[in-house]
């Protein structure tokens, strides 16, 4: 299973970076979202993955999922949303002011 | 302590002078004068001990581990230099008070000058070599400020820049040299270093250390080929030239030679390096001085030449030569400072410094002329003046030198030649300026300066005469003490008499005088010859300028290479660098173990399906990225798969958060798409796409490998503490939520603050935005009303959604949920109203200022933290208790829930600010130009 999880994270990162290397702002925003998914999953996985483990404290729980990476990733998801929102509004503003959506603020070749 | 005060008083003065300057120009000058006089008084109070042969040292540890002590030392050499700095400083302050025009800020000038004075005193009184270097660099910086004092003048700015580049560069060499010296000796304290000559000179690192230290000294003392900064620094106000460029700063280099004399001199390397630099400078600069038409230019080259003479003497490395060097330092400081002041008076009263126009001034200012002529005669080395005595000693030393065998005649011969030039340029200074016909086209009629302006010149010229006639009575004790300070050993036998009988040295003086007069008489032919042979400017300045231009070109080329304005290229460089470093690290630390043995998570059909869905949706997003709407749908699929994955791997809180954030994000991106192009042409070529794919693939493989390595390596978590303490310490069984609002509450507070800042940033970005919706109608962005069905269903959904949110929030401490998730749910419910019923309708009914909501949320969270202070616990300590409510039963109340409420409100506010602000842009309230409206106008 680890192979598949690693592969999935690798794919998310690769897709994210490829889009971030594109010349249009909207692509970069989408790429950044994909990249942050990959990073969040990586952080989550660093606490090791268990299924059917207890998430809440209870006397008869056999094993718990590691709560620390979860707390970390939860805040990362919300912060990531804030960043995406800021970036997308920045892209809109740049488009409105410059009249094109090139990352360097100039019309394409 | 007194020693420390001597250095600190001028440095403090740099602050006090502007304060006094607020009360008027005179107050600034008086303050500067009073402080300098105080420091001088303190110095004189210590002088008797130094004359008695004591070395005063006071020391405080600063960074002892690095060998840096705040330690000062007063011996004969330090005393001499401190006397020159403070004594001539006092005279220059008096002179400058009358020199500066009402347009120049007196307090600024004197503040800079006090700063320089303190730095210079620090150089000559430091016991610690690193401390000395700090003050050394401070003199370079303050001299930059002083030279560029008239900053409206381009030549002043350029002169200051050149001076800073040369002396600052030399300072860096000196730093390296001193560090090497400290490595060799094991201490930076002068007392230790000066006593370790044998250790230093036999060490392997001696040669580099010596060369670096000499570079520092030569640049500061304007030795060839670094001499050219000094003439350019003449753009400074004349008091600065009189102070820095005759008596003090340029003497710092020869001071260093004198200071390090016991430790570094004596060997062949020292002899050849220092004498060559000194000899070349002495003769070359004396020759050039003759051809300068600018009064201060002549004096500048003369100063360079005399510094060469002093350097040459220290290069000999013999005790007697060192005595002569110290003597010439004293004499040069007195006559050159007075000459600069005289030049300043002439410039001030006649309006020009060009010797081709300044003629016959004797008639207009006879008194100043007399003073200047005495000083110039001292510069030429005329008997009965101080310059004669030290020059005579210099000639004797050149003859006594035992080193060059067959070439022994060379140094005396060149020294005499230097003397010839010195007489010739001194004669030119006297004859061209004060006699030789009438002045030509002067801007104003010259006259004598104010009474007080002449006093400093009078004092210095009197000293020249007194020392010249009664050397043993006047300068004798000071010279002996200072020379002993240089040598750190008993003094050799020498005599300070005026008359030593007929000897070769006297003949050399005679040859120099007669030769100089002849040379001057032939000057017209020489000028013509000089102009023919060396037309225009020549020399080091041009090379320096070329080097600077070359450096600028290289930096421009490099900047353009790395920073051409293309963000795509930066991104590619960044990713490429990360991949390269990752590969290097992987190669260094062994390959990742790819056997399946490390695998421990069992395969499961559901999980495989989710992960494959995740990969396919991600790839789909990339493939569809130029068609934005389908790409966003694919992005939504990725987010949902992720959310399912969280469910599968026992993270319900994450799944809820991811789900709600995903919804909000997609709505946001769809709204954005309303304004942005929805289709994009392929604007990168195949090569670029393959390059990017390779970079992205490399990064992906790297991250995948890293994840694999992490997942298959042994695991040790620190979560045990949180799991144990969650219920007893935090009062909640949902550990993730307890970590967020309790254990790591401060982090969460920081995080919601960041979100609030992002919301404010978004609000600011959307102000006054004028935008035309892109290609309307293409994807059916019709301005039609939303479907009625949605409108009808959405209204009863709102209270239900609010109820769910409240439930999620209240149970958050003990079950999946909490402020973040509840906030997002409320946000989505409100957004649904906007979507279903339109912005206008919703806006009319939801009159909420979301910024206030954010503020209340933040304050609530903060107050929860602060409240624990009030009851005497550390910041953000929480407490909880159980209440028994009728019907509900046992109910937990935790202070962390108030914190969570703050988080909730903040998240609601932020979501609404972001989405509603963006939604308003597209709604009928938006200030956008609608096409048909324009037509109707």
Residue B593: predicted pLDDT: 63
B295-316 vs B319-350: helix axis angle to the nearest 10? 170
Residue B601: predicted pLDDT: 79
Cβ atoms of B418 and B510 within 8 Å: the answer is no
Nearest CA in chain B to A8: B615
- What average pLDDT does range B886-894 have in this prediction? 68
The token pair at B682 is 């392929």
**pLDDT tens-digit series, residues A6-15:** 999 999 999 9
Cβ distance B657 to A78 less than 8 Å, yes or no, reads: yes
Which of residues B459 and B865 earns the better pLDDT score?
B459
pLDDT band at B888 (very low <50, low <70, confident <90, very high): low
B566: chain A residues, CB-CB within 8 Å: 104
B712: chain A residues, CB-CB within 8 Å: 2
Cβ atoms of B372 and B430 within 8 Å: the answer is yes
Residue B928: predicted pLDDT: 42
B408 close to A (CB below 8 A): no
**pLDDT tens-digit series, residues B737-756:** 888 888 888 888 899 999 99
3 state SS of B833: helix
Q: Is the pLDDT of residue B373 over 60?
A: yes
Distance CA B624, CA B633 (A): 10
Q: What percent of chain B has pLDDT over 70?
A: 94
Cβ distance B661 to A80 less than 8 Å, yes or no, reads: yes
Distance CA B706, CA B541 (A): 57
Distance CA B73, CA B811 (A): 74
**Tally of CB atoms within 10 A around B603:** 10
B574 close to A (CB below 8 A): no
- What average pLDDT does range A78-84 have in this prediction? 90
B694 close to A (CB below 8 A): no
Residue B871: predicted pLDDT: 75
Q: Write the residue in A24, A49, A109 that is nearest to B601 by C-beta.
A: A49
Q: Write the residue in B600, B702, B727 that is nearest to A57 by C-beta.
A: B727
Residue B35: predicted pLDDT: 95
Which contacts of B660-664 are long-range, i.e. CB under 8 A and separated by 24 or more positions?
A: B660/B821, B660/B824, B660/B825, B660/B827, B660/B828, B661/A77, B661/A78, B661/A80, B661/A81, B661/B824, B662/B636, B663/B824, B663/B828, B664/A81, B664/B824, B664/B827, B664/B828, B664/B831, B664/B911, B664/B915
3-state helix, strand, coil in chain B (%, to 5): 75, 5, 25
Cβ distance A44 to B649 less than 8 Å, yes or no, reads: yes
Q: Write the residue in B567, B628, B918 that is nearest to A103 by C-beta.
A: B567
Nearest CA in chain B to A107: B683
Q: Is the pLDDT of residue B711 over 90?
A: no
Cβ distance A108 to B611 less than 8 Å, yes or no, reads: no
pLDDT band at A62 (very low <50, low <70, confident <90, very high): confident
Separation in Å, CA of B903 to nearest CA in chain A:
11
Cβ distance B918 to A24 less than 8 Å, yes or no, reads: no
Cβ atoms of B59 and B121 within 8 Å: the answer is no
- On average, the pLDDT of chain B sits at 87
ipTM of this predicted structure: 0.95
Q: Write the residue in A2, A21, A24 that is nearest to B601 by C-beta.
A: A2
- What average pLDDT does range B237-244 have in this prediction? 92
Taken in order of first residue, the domains within chain A and their CATH numbers are 2-49+65-98 (1.10.287)
H helices, E strands: number in chain A = 3, 0
pLDDT band at B924 (very low <50, low <70, confident <90, very high): very low
B600: chain A residues, CB-CB within 8 Å: 2
Which of residues B306 and B713 earns the better pLDDT score?
B306
Distance CA B629, CA B836 (A): 20
Nearest CA in chain A to B767: A93
Q: Is the pLDDT of residue B439 over 50?
A: yes
B669 close to A (CB below 8 A): yes
CA B42 to chain centre: 34
B927 close to A (CB below 8 A): no
B659 close to A (CB below 8 A): no
B146-155, B214-223, B599-608: lowest mean pLDDT where? B599-608
Q: Is the pLDDT of residue A4 over 60?
A: yes
Cβ distance B600 to A71 less than 8 Å, yes or no, reads: no
- Element at B424 (helix H, strand E): helix B410-434
CB under 8 Å to B648, separation ≥6 — which residues?
A: A51, B604, B606, B607, B610
**pLDDT tens-digit series, residues A13-26:** 999 999 999 988 99
Q: Is the pLDDT of residue B589 over 80?
A: no
Q: Is the pLDDT of residue B840 over 70?
A: yes
A92: chain B residues, CB-CB within 8 Å: 672, 675-676, 765-766, 769, 771, 918
B910 close to A (CB below 8 A): yes
Counting Cα atoms < 13 Å in the Cβ hemisphere of B776 gives 10
Q: Is the pLDDT of residue B598 over 80?
A: no
Distance CA B206, CA B212 (A): 10
- What average pLDDT does range B81-100 have in this prediction? 94
A6: chain B residues, CB-CB within 8 Å: 704-705, 707-708, 711
A64: chain B residues, CB-CB within 8 Å: 719, 723, 735
B681 close to A (CB below 8 A): yes
Cβ distance B668 to A17 less than 8 Å, yes or no, reads: no
Q: Is the pLDDT of residue B930 over 50?
A: no
The token pair at B450 is 């104010």
3 state SS of B658: helix
Distance CA B415, CA B543 (A): 28
B319-350 vs B366-380: helix axis angle to the nearest 10? 150
3 state SS of B350: helix
3-state helix, strand, coil in chain A (%, to 5): 65, 5, 30
- What average pLDDT does range B326-340 have in this prediction? 93
- Element at B74 (helix H, strand E): strand B68-74
Cα dist. B98→B95, B147, B245, B454 in Å? 6, 18, 20, 10
**pLDDT tens-digit series, residues B267-285:** 899 999 999 999 999 999 9
Q: Is the pLDDT of residue B776 over 50?
A: no
CB under 8 Å to B107, separation ≥6 — which residues?
A: B17, B18, B20, B21, B22, B25, B28
Nearest CA in chain B to A73: B654
Distance CA B9, CA B36 (A): 8
Give bridge partners of residue B58 from the DSSP assignment.
B72
Q: What are phi and psi of B594, to 5 degrees?
A: -100, 10
Q: Is the pLDDT of residue B614 over 50?
A: yes
3 state SS of B57: strand
pLDDT band at A109 (very low <50, low <70, confident <90, very high): very low
Residue B326: predicted pLDDT: 94
A27: chain B residues, CB-CB within 8 Å: 625, 680
CB under 8 Å to B289, separation ≥6 — which residues?
A: B297, B298, B299, B300, B301, B302, B304, B305, B421, B425
- What average pLDDT does range B819-834 have in this prediction? 89
Separation in Å, CA of B740 to nearest CA in chain A:
6
Q: Is the pLDDT of residue B436 over 60?
A: yes
- What average pLDDT does range B329-341 have in this prediction? 93
B652: chain A residues, CB-CB within 8 Å: 55
């Amino acid at each position: 299973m680890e192979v598949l999880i690693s592969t999935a994270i690798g794919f998310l990162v690769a897709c994210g970076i490829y889009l971030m290397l594109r010349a249009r702002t909207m692509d970069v925003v989408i790429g950044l979202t994909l990249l942050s998914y990959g990073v969040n999953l990586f952080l989550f996985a660093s606490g090791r993955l268990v299924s059917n483990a207890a998430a809440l404290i209870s006397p008869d729980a056999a094993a718990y999922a590691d709560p620390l990476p979860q707390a970390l990733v939860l805040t990362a998801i919300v912060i990531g949303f804030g960043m995406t929102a800021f970036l997308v509004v920045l892209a809109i503003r740049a488009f409105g002011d410059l009249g094109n959506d090139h990352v360097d603020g100039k019309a394409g070749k | 302590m007194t020693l420390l005060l001597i250095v600190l008083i001028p440095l403090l003065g740099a602050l006090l002078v502007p304060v006094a300057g607020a009360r008027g120009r005179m107050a600034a000058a008086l303050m500067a004068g009073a402080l300098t006089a105080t420091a001088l008084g303190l110095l004189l109070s210590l002088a008797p001990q130094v004359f008695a042969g004591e070395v005063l040292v006071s020391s405080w540890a600063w960074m002892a581990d690095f060998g840096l002590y705040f330690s000062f030392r007063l011996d004969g050499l330090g005393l001499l230099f401190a006397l020159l700095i403070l004594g001539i400083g006092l005279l220059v302050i008096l002179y400058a008070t009358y020199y500066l025009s009402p347009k120049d800020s007196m307090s600024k000038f004197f503040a800079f000058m006090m700063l320089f004075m303190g730095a210079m005193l620090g150089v000559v009184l430091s016991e610690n070599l690193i401390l000395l270097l700090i003050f050394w660099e401070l003199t370079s910086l303050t001299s930059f400020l002083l030279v560029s004092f008239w900053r409206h003048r381009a030549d002043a700015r350029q002169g200051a820049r050149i001076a800073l580049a040369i002396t600052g560069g030399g300072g860096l060499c000196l730093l390296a040299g001193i560090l090497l010296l400290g490595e060799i000796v094991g201490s930076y304290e002068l007392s230790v270093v000066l006593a370790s000559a044998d250790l230093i000179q036999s060490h392997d690192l001696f040669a580099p250390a010596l060369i670096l230290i000499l570079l520092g000294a030569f640049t500061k003392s304007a030795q060839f080929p670094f001499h050219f900064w000094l003439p350019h620094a003449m753009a400074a106000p004349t008091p600065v030239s009189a102070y820095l460029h005759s008596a003090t700063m340029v003497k710092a280099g020869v001071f260093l030679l004198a200071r390090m004399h016991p430790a570094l001199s004596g060997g062949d390397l020292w002899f050849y390096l220092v004498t060559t630099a000194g000899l070349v400078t002495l003769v070359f600069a004396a020759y050039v001085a003759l051809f300068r038409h600018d009064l201060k230019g002549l004096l500048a080259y003369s100063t360079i030449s005399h510094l060469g003479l002093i350097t040459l003497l220290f290069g000999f490395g013999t005790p007697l030569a060192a005595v002569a060097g110290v003597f010439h330092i004293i004499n040069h400081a007195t006559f050159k400072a007075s000459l600069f002041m005289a030049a300043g008076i002439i410039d001030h009263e006649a309006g020009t410094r060009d010797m081709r126009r300044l003629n016959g001034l004797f008639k207009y200012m006879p008194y100043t002329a007399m003073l200047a002529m005495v000083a110039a005669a001292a510069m030429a080395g005329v008997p009965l003046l101080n310059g004669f005595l030290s020059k005579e000693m210099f000639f004797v030393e050149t003859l006594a030198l035992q080193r060059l065998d067959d070439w022994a005649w060379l140094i005396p011969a060149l020294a005499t030649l230097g003397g010839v030039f010195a007489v010739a340029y001194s004669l030119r200074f006297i004859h061209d300026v004060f006699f030789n016909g009438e002045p030509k086209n002067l801007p104003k009629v010259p006259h004598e300066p104010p009474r007080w302006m002449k006093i400093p010149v009078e004092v210095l010229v009197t000293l020249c005469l007194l020392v010249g006639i009664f050397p043993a009575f006047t300068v004798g004790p000071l010279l002996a003490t200072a020379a002993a300070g240089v040598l750190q050993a008993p003094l050799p036998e020498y005599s300070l008499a005026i008359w030593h009988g007929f000897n070769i040295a006297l003949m050399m003086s005679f040859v120099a005088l007669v030769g100089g007069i002849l040379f001057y008489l032939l000057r017209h032919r020489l000028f013509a010859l000089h102009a023919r042979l060396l037309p225009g400017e020549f020399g080091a300045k041009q090379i320096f300028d070329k080097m600077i231009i070359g450096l600028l070109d290289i930096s421009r080329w490099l900047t353009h290479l790395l920073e051409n304005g293309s963000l795509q290229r930066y991104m590619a460089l960044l990713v490429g660098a990360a991949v390269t470093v990752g590969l290097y690290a992987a190669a260094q630390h062994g390959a990742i173990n790819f056997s399946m043995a490390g695998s421990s998570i069992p395969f499961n059909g559901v999980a495989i399906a989710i992960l494959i869905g995740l990969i396919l949706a991600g790839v789909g997003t990339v493939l569809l990225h130029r068609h934005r709407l389908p790409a966003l749908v694919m992005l939504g699929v990725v987010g949902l798969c992720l959310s399912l994955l969280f469910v599968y791997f026992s993270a319900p809180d994450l799944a809820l958060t991811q789900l709600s954030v995903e919804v909000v994000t997609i709505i946001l991106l769809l709204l954005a798409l309303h304004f942005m192009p929805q289709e994009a042409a392929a604007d990168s070529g195949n090569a670029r796409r393959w390059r990017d794919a390779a970079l992205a693939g490399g990064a992906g493989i790297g991250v995948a490998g890293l994840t694999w390595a992490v997942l298959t390596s042994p695991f040790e978590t620190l979560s045990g503490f949180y799991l144990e303490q969650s219920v007893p310490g935090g009062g909640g069984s949902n550990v993730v939520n307890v970590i967020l609002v309790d254990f790591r509450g401060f982090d969460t507070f920081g995080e919601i603050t960041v979100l609030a800042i992002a919301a404010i940033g978004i609000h600011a970005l959307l102000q006054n935005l004028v935008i035309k919706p892109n290609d309307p109608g293409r994807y059916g962005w019709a301005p039609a009303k939303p479907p009625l069905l949605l409108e009808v269903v959405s209204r009863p959904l709102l209270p239900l959604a609010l109820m769910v949110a409240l439930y999620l929030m209240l149970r958050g401490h003990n079950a999946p949920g909490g402020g973040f998730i509840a906030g997002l749910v409320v946000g989505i419910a409100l957004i649904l109203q906007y979507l279903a019923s339109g912005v206008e309708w919703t806006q009319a009914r939801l009159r909420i200022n979301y910024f206030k909501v954010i503020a209340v949320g933040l304050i609530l969270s903060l107050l929860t933290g602060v409240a624990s202070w009030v009851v005497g616990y550390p910041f953000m300590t929480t407490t909880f208790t159980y209440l028994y409510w009728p019907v509900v039963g046992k109910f937990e109340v935790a202070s962390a829930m108030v914190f969570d409420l703050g988080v909730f409100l903040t998240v609601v506010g932020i979501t609404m600010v972001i989405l509603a602000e963006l939604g308003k842009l597209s709604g009928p309230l938006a200030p956008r130009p609608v096409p048909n409206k324009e037509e109707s106008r």
